[in-house]
Structure formats: structure tokens, C-alpha cells
């Protein structure tokens, strides 16, 4: 992946900085907030650094996630291999459409949305909302009731949830709408 690290045990803040496109002191300062990871004169041990960062980001344990809404976007998420990289595992999907219920997409079975209440007993603490706009708040409410602790919401709407549940909303259209701001004309 990072060619500069091939066959090396250590990496300097400078190399890391060049790779991600920032300055070396930013790397050092950021790391220092969480403790002393590096060795002066040598650099950072790559393996131990990765382990430390994963622990800080709480990515050291695999967490189970439930997907709600198996439309185009939901299907894309089920097909997406990238989640495993970050210690996330989509183990179940829900939908309202009887035609979809019972099917298996990428090894994940689609269940009736009424079964959403069983999440807690199954040890699932994350929810992914990929439903139409109008169903957004309702779906979040159900997930909260089911004891979920974090929600990634793709529905483009204002969401109310108790403070104990962290909601991250990803409005894809709004992200795209940021682009024109950087474009002088045309």
C-alpha cells in the first residue's frame, strides 16, 4: 500500500506527512495528544502505531451493524467490501417490501422490518439508514428503541435522537453541492 514502508519497521513523521499531504509537525502534534508513540532518531514503529490508532478510534473490536432499506443504495452498501477494513460487519438487513424479505444479498439475509426490535438481543449496536426521505425519522426512532448506539443516516432530513445515540448524517446531494462553491464559473 504505502510503498515507502515496504520492508521497513519504522516510519518518520515526515514520510507520513508527505503521504497524506500535510506538514510533519501536524503529525507529531496530533499523535502527541494521545501519548508518546515514537522513538526520537528512529520514527514510529509501523505495526504498533497502527494498533494504537485503531484502539484510539475504537476500531480494535469488530462491531455488528444492521442495514435498514435495501434499495439501490442499500444494495451498494451490502456489496461494499470496505466496511471490514474498519472493523464493521453488516450482519442483517431490513426492508418493508415483501418481495425482498427472505432473499439473501451478499450473504446477508433481508428480514421483515418488524424484526428490528430483536437487535439488542443479537448484540447489534450500529444501524445504517438507507430509506427514503419520508421514512427517515421513523426508522431512526425504531433503531433507537431497539437499543442501537450509533446510526449512519443517508436520508436527507433533520433527525432527532437522544443524546446517548450518536447520529452521523451523510447527505450525498449536499456533498456534491459543495463543489460549485470552489468553481469560479461555468
Partner DNA sequence: CCATGTGAAGGTATTCACAGCC
Partner DNA sequence: GGCTGTGAATACCTTCACATGG
Query: Where along the sequence are the contacts to DNA (CB under 7 A)?
Result: 11-14, 23-26, 28-29, 31-32, 36-44
What minimum distance in Å lies between the beta carbon of 186 and its own copies?
5
What minimum distance in Å lies between the beta carbon of 101 and DNA?
45
Q: How many CB atoms lie within 10 A of CB 110?
A: 21
Does 4 participate in binding its own copies (rule CB under 8 A)? no
CA–CA distances in Å: residue 111 to residues 17, 36, 46, 67, 139: 45, 47, 42, 10, 15
Does 176 participate in binding its own copies (rule CB under 8 A)? yes
Buried (b) or exposed (e) across 29-44, using 16+ Cβ within 10 A? eebeeeeebbeeeebb
Q: Would you say 154 and 130 are in contact if contact means Cβ atoms under 8 Å apart?
A: yes
132 three-state secondary structure? coil
Nearest residue (CB) to DNA, 40 versus 107: 40
What value, to the nearest 5°, has the Cα angle with vertex 167 and ends 163 and 170? Answer: 155
Per-residue contact track with its own copies, 22 to 61, x per CB under 8 A? -----------------------------------xxx-x
Binding site for its own copies (CB under 8 A): 19-20, 57-59, 61, 63, 65, 71-73, 75-77, 79-80, 82-83, 85-88, 123, 125-126, 128, 133, 149-152, 156, 158, 166, 168, 170-183, 186
Amino acid at each position: 500500500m504505502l510503498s515507502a514502508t515496504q520492508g521497513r519497521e519504522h516510519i518518520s513523521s515526515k514520510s507520513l506527512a508527505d503521504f497524506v499531504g500535510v506538514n510533519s509537525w501536524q503529525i507529531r502534534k496530533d499523535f502527541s495528544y494521545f501519548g508518546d508513540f515514537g522513538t526520537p532518531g528512529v520514527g514510529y514503529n509501523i505495526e504498533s502505531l497502527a494498533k494504537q490508532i485503531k484502539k484510539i478510534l475504537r476500531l480494535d473490536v469488530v462491531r455488528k451493524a444492521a442495514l435498514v432499506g435495501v434499495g439501490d443504495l442499500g444494495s451498494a452498501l451490502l456489496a461494499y467490501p470496505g466496511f471490514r477494513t474498519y472493523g464493521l460487519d453488516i450482519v442483517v438487513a431490513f426492508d418493508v417490501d415483501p418481495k425482498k424479505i427472505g432473499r439473501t444479498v451478499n450473504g446477508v439475509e433481508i428480514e421483515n422490518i418488524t424484526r428490528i426490535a430483536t437487535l439488542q438481543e443479537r448484540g447489534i449496536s450500529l444501524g445504517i439508514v438507507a430509506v427514503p426521505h419520508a421514512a427517515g425519522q421513523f426508522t431512526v426512532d425504531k433503531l433507537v428503541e431497539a437499543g442501537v448506539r450509533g446510526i449512519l443516516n443517508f436520508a436527507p432530513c433533520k433527525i432527532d435522537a437522544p443524546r446517548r445515540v450518536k447520529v452521523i448524517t451523510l447527505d450525498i446531494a449536499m456533498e456534491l453541492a459543495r463543489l460549485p462553491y470552489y468553481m469560479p464559473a461555468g
